[in-house]
Structure formats: structure tokens, C-alpha cells
Structure 1
């Protein structure tokens, strides 16, 4: 284990900046997830930690040592790639031992450590097979075993589950998380899948356009997003465009007047509301609005309703499934609402 620190890390290709002034402190044993859309700079950041990309500015420190410009083989990081990157002509055991061989570990020791790593991922019985004889999930576990065999100071995972089907993704992400906890590893993972990130992380880092937008726990990012981007990327929200007309009053472009945080800054703004915060038959303390159901969807544990409030505005609400029949049908007039505190207001003033 080792503490990982990124200080002002940036990467520029000509006139294009892909990573901008990223600073992070990852303590021993933490599982940190970099989350963001494609092209946001998260993979480039991970590759600068691994040594595959040289930073244009900033420092990478691991265990108190500056490794910014060390080649990958001279920094003790274990990397798990999106496409597994297994050698097709090598056996599973040979693939797992490859990093040890590059580090000049004597053959008896590397064979022992390779088998031990395969034991951690429950693949000891497949040591003699070739990668093509394994399933996708097994190949990913081989890639993980190879990274673990070198006893890395930090484990780096680049979209490690994106090539697996949905059910297998659920299984493997639990295995990776349990193994990380069991071994006390410091780990940094990159993903664009918010469910994956929310399930696996100790802390989340949301990135956009090469920069960090917010760092925090799952609860921080979901319940207290720093801006509109985070509110839209982590979880799901309905957005209503408008302005804070006076303290505690948000007025939508369609003319609806809604109670909001009295501390919200006056001027152009957007209100975000989570679907589970909106409900039928609002209480006396809620915002109360009339609308028409224009779409319903059965999502298993929840029922989803799209309610039109005005010609230009609608909201999406989720209701617990207690029998499979929506409380309101298509075209039906309904009254909906949400508490003042559930309407998150983000100023759009320059």
C-alpha cells in the first residue's frame, strides 16, 4: 500500500488540453473512482499515474516518492486494461507471471506468486489454459491476477468491466471490491458507468472537459451536487429552466412559481429535482403543481411517470412498485409536488 498524490497534473497536446490542473490525495487503502463521460480526461489521468503518458505539468507522488517521469516498469503500479491485454500464445500462469519476469524475479518465486495470485481470483485450476479457452469474465480476472502478482503499491483499473455483459459486470465488480478490501489495496478506477462507480467507490471524482467538477462520497454527489453537470451525470434529474425571482421563489420559463432555498442567488438559474423526490398528492408543505400524465414505464422496482406541466415543461417521477399498476394512467390529470429542499437550484449567472 502507498499514498498516491497528484499535484496540478495537466496534459496538453498542441493547442488541446485534455487534463487541466488535477490535484488529488488518495490515502492508503482507499478505492477512488474517476467518473465522467468519454473524452473528459479520466483515462489520460490514470495513464499519467501508470507512466504511459508523460504529464505536461504537475507531479505524481507515490509513497512519498516523486515518480512523475519514471517509466512504467520503474513505478510499482498494477494496471488492469479495458481489453484485458493478455498474450494469446501464453498460458494463464505465464500471463500472470509476465510482470514478475520483467522485474527479474527468479523463476521458482514467480511461479509461486503467479499461482498465489490466481488463487486470489479463484482461477488456480485454469493455470495451464490459454486465454482463448476462458470466458470474458475469467479473462478479466486473469488480468487482475497479473496486476496483483507484482504486489503493487497502487492498483489502476481502466474501464475494467466495460466488455462484460450486465450480469457478469455485477459479479466481477463485487469480486474486485471484496478483493481490494481483503488485501487493503490503494486503488484508482476509471469508468463512465455511474452505477459501477456508486457501487465500488470509497470516494468519487467527477470529471468534465479535463477538470475535476466535484470530489466526495456517493451521498455527497447525489444529494449535494456542486453544479448542474454533476446533478445530471450522477443519478437522474428533471431540470426546469428559469430564474430566482425573489428570495425563496424560483420562477420557471413557463411561469410556474416554486418554493426554493431562500439562500439561492437571484437571477438566471436552473432547478434540478430527483425523480424519487416528486410524488403524487403532495402535502401542505410541498410545491404543488397540476399536470397530465403523458408517458408511463414499468421499471421493475419502480414505476416511472412523465407528467406534462406546461407546453414546454415536464417532470419525471418514480413511484415504488406495489403491484405493477401505475397510480395514474395515460392522459389523466394529476397533482404532483416535492418539498422545497428537494429542488436544487444552480445559478447560471456568469
Structure 2
């Protein structure tokens, strides 16, 4: 394992920047996840680390060594591609051994290393099979074994679970995280899946339009988002906009919302759905209580989302647990929602001045 550093890494094609001044410091043994929508720059950043994209500017260092201009085979990184990129005509063992052959490892040493790698991913009994004879989860583990077989300093994962069904994704991500912790290998993973990122990462990097928007723990990003984009992308939020005077936000729809901070000027608050109470009577336990009409109900098994229209301009989502015997409101029902002042999160940008 090794420390990974990116210092002002940019990649542009003409006037278009796929990545812009990305600066990151990944500690030895850390699991860092690059999270963002398609086209945000996360895969370009990952491929710049791997050596498949040459930065237009900036520096990539692995273990303190500048590898910015080195080709992929001269930097000790292992990459798991999104589509696994297995050779269909080679057996599992031959696929895993391919990188060792490129590094001129002797056949005897290669056989030992391949067996060790396959044992790590619990596929040592399937070395003679072809990729088409394996399940999707098994193919993913072959690709992981191939990336680990030469013990890289940094493991790179490019949306490695995107081709798996939901149940298998849950199982394999636990396997990957457990293996990474056991080996203590520095790892960078790219994903657009929030749940995947939140459950696997030591730290998250949220990206948009080629830029890093925020770096931090899951709690940092959820509780203290740097801007509206982060608040909307990490978890879900209802956004309420208006004019702040003291600790009260007045929205265009006429709501007077009590907040935990005093801000002067135009502002926006983000309200997490699990922190909104909903009932048939006014919520007397919350400083903010408003009547509204149910516009949509989304049944998700253990949780239920209730979309409530409070005014022509204002809507919130309440998320409630699905308890035994729960009575759910229907579309068109009149309800009351409420939340505490501390439940309204202020993204850092566009929020006037503290009063």
C-alpha cells in the first residue's frame, strides 16, 4: 500500500475540461470513493491515476514518487474495469496471470501468485473455467483477483458493481470492503451510486463538472454539505428558498420557517425527509408545523415517502418507517408536517451573511 497524491490534476480537450484542478491526498490503506453523476470527471480522474489518461496539468504521486508521465505498466496500480474486461478465450487462472506475464514473472512464481489471488476471492476451485461459465459475481471477483495478483500499491475500481443485480451488489460490496480492510490496500473507487459510496468509503469525494465539490466523511457531507449540489446528491433533500430575517426564513409561498441559524438576505435550506414528521393533526412537538396536501406516496417496503404540497411554491418529502398496522395517507389527503429548526441544513453557498 502507498499514499496517493493528486496535485492540481486537470484534463482538457480543447475548451472542455473533463477534470479541473483536482487535488486529493489519500492516506495509506484508505478507501476513498469518487462520487458524482455521469460526466462529472470521476472516471477521468481515476484513469489519470492509472495512467490511461495523461493530465494536461498537475501531478500524480504514488508513494511519494511522481508517476504523472509514466505509462500504466510502469506504475504499480491495479484497475478493475466496469465491464471486467476478461479475455473470453482464457481460463480464470490465465486471466489472472496475464498481468504477471506482462511483468515477466516466472511461470513458477506466477502460478503461486495466481493461486493466492484466487484464494483471496474464494475462486481457487474455478481456475480452469472460462469466463462464460461463471456468474456475474464470479466474473467480478476474477477481475478483482487480476488487479490484486501483483500486490499493487493502489487498487482502482471503476464502477465495479454496476453490472450486478441489486442483491448481488449488496453482497459483493461487503466482500470488496472486507478484502480491502484485510489487505490494508489504498483504494480509490468510482461510483454514481450513493448507497454504495456511503456504505463502503472511509471518505467521499463529491464531483461535478470536473471539479471537486467537497471531500469528507459520510456524516460531513450529509450533515454539513458545502453547497446545494452536494446537499441534493448525497442523500435526498427538499429545498426551501426565501428571505432570511433573524432566524426565520420566509418563502415565496408565505411559510415562516424557524431555523437554527441567523442569516441575513436570500437563503436556501435543505430538509432531509427522515427528519420531517407527518400526521393528521398539527405537529405540536415541532417549532415548524404546516398544513398541506399529499401529492404522491411512494411505497419502498421498509420506508414510505410522502410528498406534501405546502403552498404553490413549497413542497417537502417526509419519510416514515413502515410499522406493522401503519395507516398511510392517500393522494389528496390533508395532513400536517413539522420539523425542528435544527433539521434545516444550510448549504454553505448562497446563504447571505451570518447575523
TM-score w.r.t. length of structure 2: 0.95
| Distance (Å, rounded) in 2 between the aligned partners of 1:283 and 1:152 | 58
| Distance (Å, rounded) in 2 between the aligned partners of 1:10 and 1:169 | 32
1:277 matched to which residue of 2? 275
Q: How does 1:183-332 map to 2 (within 5 A)?
A: 183-244=183-244, 246-264=245-263, 266-280=264-278, 281-323=282-324, 325-332=326-333
1:67 matched to which residue of 2? 67
1:102 matched to which residue of 2? 102
Name the SS of the counterpart of 1:310 in structure 2.
coil
| Distance (Å, rounded) in 1 between the aligned partners of 2:342 and 2:97 | 55
| Distance (Å, rounded) in 2 between the aligned partners of 1:21 and 1:324 | 53
Q: Give the Å deviation of 1:251.
A: 1.1
| Distance (Å, rounded) in 2 between the aligned partners of 1:309 and 1:18 | 40
Name the SS of the counterpart of 1:222 in structure 2.
helix
After superposition, the Cα gap between the structure-2 partners of 1:349 and 1:198, relative to the gap in structure 1 and judged at 3 Å, is: closer
- Native 8 Å contact 1:260 1:345 kept in 2: no
Name the SS of the counterpart of 1:170 in structure 2.
helix
| Distance (Å, rounded) in 1 between the aligned partners of 2:167 and 2:149 | 27
2:35 matched to which residue of 1? 35
| Distance (Å, rounded) in 2 between the aligned partners of 1:158 and 1:303 | 32
| Distance (Å, rounded) in 2 between the aligned partners of 1:298 and 1:22 | 40
Q: Give the Å deviation of 1:8.
A: 0.6
Q: Give the Å deviation of 1:123.
A: 0.5
Name the SS of the counterpart of 1:215 in structure 2.
strand
Q: Give the Å deviation of 1:106.
A: 0.4
- Native 8 Å contact 1:303 1:318 kept in 2: yes
1:120 matched to which residue of 2? 120
- Native 8 Å contact 1:81 1:160 kept in 2: yes
| Distance (Å, rounded) in 2 between the aligned partners of 1:344 and 1:168 | 34
- Native 8 Å contact 1:238 1:315 kept in 2: yes
- Native 8 Å contact 2:268 2:351 kept in 1: no
Name the SS of the counterpart of 2:98 in structure 1.
helix
Find runs of 4+ consecutive structure 1 residues off by over 4 angstroms: none
| Distance (Å, rounded) in 2 between the aligned partners of 1:35 and 1:146 | 24
Q: Which runs of 5+ in 1 are unaligned?
A: none
Number of residue pairs matched?
348
CA RMSD of aligned residues (A): 1.4
Name the SS of the counterpart of 2:21 in structure 1.
strand
| Distance (Å, rounded) in 1 between the aligned partners of 2:346 and 2:27 | 33
After superposition, the Cα gap between the structure-2 partners of 1:36 and 1:324, relative to the gap in structure 1 and judged at 3 Å, is: farther
Name the SS of the counterpart of 1:157 in structure 2.
strand
Q: How does 1:162-181 map to 2 (within 5 A)?
A: 162-181=162-181
Name the SS of the counterpart of 1:282 in structure 2.
coil
- Native 8 Å contact 2:248 2:262 kept in 1: no
Name the SS of the counterpart of 2:204 in structure 1.
strand
Name the SS of the counterpart of 1:125 in structure 2.
coil
| Distance (Å, rounded) in 1 between the aligned partners of 2:59 and 2:156 | 17
Name the SS of the counterpart of 1:24 in structure 2.
strand
